[in-house]
Structure 1
Amino acid sequence: MAGPSTAERGERQQESSGPPRLRRFGSPRLRVIVILSAALVLAGAGTVWVLYGSNWLRVERVSVSGTRVLTHQQVREAADVPVGDPLVSVDTEAIEARLGRELPRIDSVDVVRSWPHGIGLKVTERTPVLIVQKGGKFVEVDDEGVRFATVSRAPKGVPALELDPSRSGSAAASLRRFGEDRLVREAVRVAGRIPDAVARDTRVVKVRSYDDISLELGGGRTVAWGSGEQGERKARTLTALMKAAPDARHFDVSVPTAPASSGS
């Protein structure tokens, strides 16, 4: 008995294999890919809804830390955090900029998200190193020469800054050349180099010119410091000079290699 012809075998193979596209779509690997893709799309949509559309991750409280003079309420009001908005959408950089603009006493602030419902404001305030009397009030100056706040009472233990009021001779020339802000920064530079024991007794930092800065201490003692240059060396020289001449009333370290003291 004759077997199937070549044409019949071809027809049987085509019938058994089925349509190529149908076989590819029905493969296990493709089904897994389709299912995973659909799951990822659903997961992404769910995540977006949780972050932006649900009430689960919205701002409900604003905490403040690190303040010394400012109140928590002042910081919260200046920050103007959008309570009720999705936590993920809060613009932390805008809050930082707003606080720096509204409250100059703030030196830096770190705005952090505290999941699931909080915003934390970690504040660092400026510290006055000098004060400038202005009328009946006092302007606080920090270690960068920034005049950041006006207060009615002078902070305890902070020396006063005096710019020579005559503005004549060398003082006038120095003021024209460097400007008042530069002279204030030089005074701050000097204040930051004064030895601790002397700093506690310093009442006034007086600036007559860029290179003529002096200190007025308690008990009528004075220190001729000169410019703000060689500050560390001048500090060491002043400490040694005061130990060598404890009864002196006037000290000169403007040239630290040739210090001098006088009076008793």
Structure 2
Amino acid sequence: MAGPTTAERQQKKSGPPRPPRVRRARLPRTRTLIVILVLVALLGAGGLWVLYGSQWLRLERVQTSGTRELTPDEVREAADAPLGTPLISVDTDALEDRLRSKLPRIDSVDVSRSWPHGIRLEVTERKPVLLIEKGGKFVEVDAEGVRFATVERAPKAVPRLELTLDRESGAASLRRFGTGRLLREAVRVAGDLPEAVARDTRNVKVRSFDSISLELSGGRTVDWGSGEKGRTKARTLTALMKAAPKAGHFDVSVPTAPASASS
């Protein structure tokens, strides 16, 4: 029987065949890393220069929207935006604070960048729900009780406040709550009125904290009571007016037991 061949003997000596070597991916060389870092730094510096140093992204115009009583020029002047400066560096919070401070008629304002050269001011003005006559002029009061403007002429469809306190209950209310609280109650009532009723309301009379009444067009009157349960009273008054359209007096001071009369 023939013995193992020379190749077989060599294989036994060297052991089983080794698996093929897997070449690992080489990490980028130091020079390549340096080049990449330099490129990133240059791109970052270029971006910063475009935003802050170039003339391409500078503030050139200020646009306004949402104004009613105010004019766009008044808003832009009060904002005092720094024209010519990099748009990215404009402090939008400072613009908002400046507008609200200089123009109390502004309830809120949204300041945003309008790339590449603008600032946009979206204004929401306060709406008067009550007027206080003072020295021949009229102080406008919004639904939050903020006195935000004094005007020469009374705006249409905004009722006036009449603080005609009763001797006993009115005086007691004044001592207990103060004029400011009574004013807020009147504002609260005016803000809760149904839209159709609010347009017809000429005066809101405050005799005491619990006795607030309305004078409507056509000589009609409404006993509202206190400022509590305003929404319920508003719904009750709307239904009562539909049920008795020719009535001249309505009482919703107790909304669960409303009443109406011809005069």
Could you state the TM-score of these two structures normalised by the residue count of structure 2?
Answer: 0.84
In 1, Cα distance between equivalents of 2:147 and 2:250: 30
In 2, Cα distance between equivalents of 1:62 and 1:155: 29
Q: Answer whether contact 2:166 2:208 (CA < 8 A) is retained.
A: no
Aligned twin of 1:43: 43
Aligned-partner SS, 2:75: helix
Aligned-partner SS, 2:56: coil
In 2, Cα distance between equivalents of 1:153 and 1:63: 29
Structure 2 residues not aligned, in runs of 5+:
1-26
Is the counterpart of residue 154 in structure 1 residue 132 in structure 2?
no
Q: What does the per-residue CA deviation read over 1:86-117, in whole Å, with 9 as the maximum and x for residues that have no partner?
A: 11111110110000000000011111111111
Is the counterpart of residue 82 in structure 1 residue 82 in structure 2?
yes
Aligned twin of 2:13: none
Aligned twin of 2:188: 189
What is the count of residue pairs matched by the alignment? 238
Aligned twin of 1:10: none
Is the counterpart of residue 261 in structure 1 residue 251 in structure 2?
no
Structure 1 residues not aligned, in runs of 5+:
1-26
**Map of 1:1-264 to 2, 5 A cutoff?**
28-164=28-164, 166=165, 168-264=167-263
How far off is 1:228 after superposition? 1.3
In 1, Cα distance between equivalents of 2:195 and 2:184: 20
Aligned-partner SS, 2:58: coil
**1:95 corresponds to which letter in structure 2?**
L
Q: Answer whether contact 2:182 2:206 (CA < 8 A) is retained.
A: yes
**Sequence identity (%):** 71
In 1, Cα distance between equivalents of 2:32 and 2:57: 33
Q: Answer whether contact 1:145 1:181 (CA < 8 A) is retained.
A: no
Q: Answer whether contact 1:167 1:175 (CA < 8 A) is retained.
A: no
Aligned-partner SS, 1:133: strand
Aligned-partner SS, 1:81: coil
How far off is 1:178 after superposition? 2.2
How far off is 1:34 after superposition? 1.0
Could you state the TM-score of these two structures normalised by the residue count of structure 1?
Answer: 0.84
Q: What does the per-residue CA deviation read over 1:212-261, in whole Å, with 9 as the maximum and x for residues that have no partner?
A: 11100112211110111111221222223233333332221111122222
In 1, Cα distance between equivalents of 2:54 and 2:239: 69
* RMSD of Structure 2 on Structure 1 (CA): 1.9
In 2, Cα distance between equivalents of 1:127 and 1:213: 22
**1:101 corresponds to which letter in structure 2?**
S
Aligned twin of 1:9: none
Aligned-partner SS, 1:155: coil
In 1, Cα distance between equivalents of 2:238 and 2:31: 84
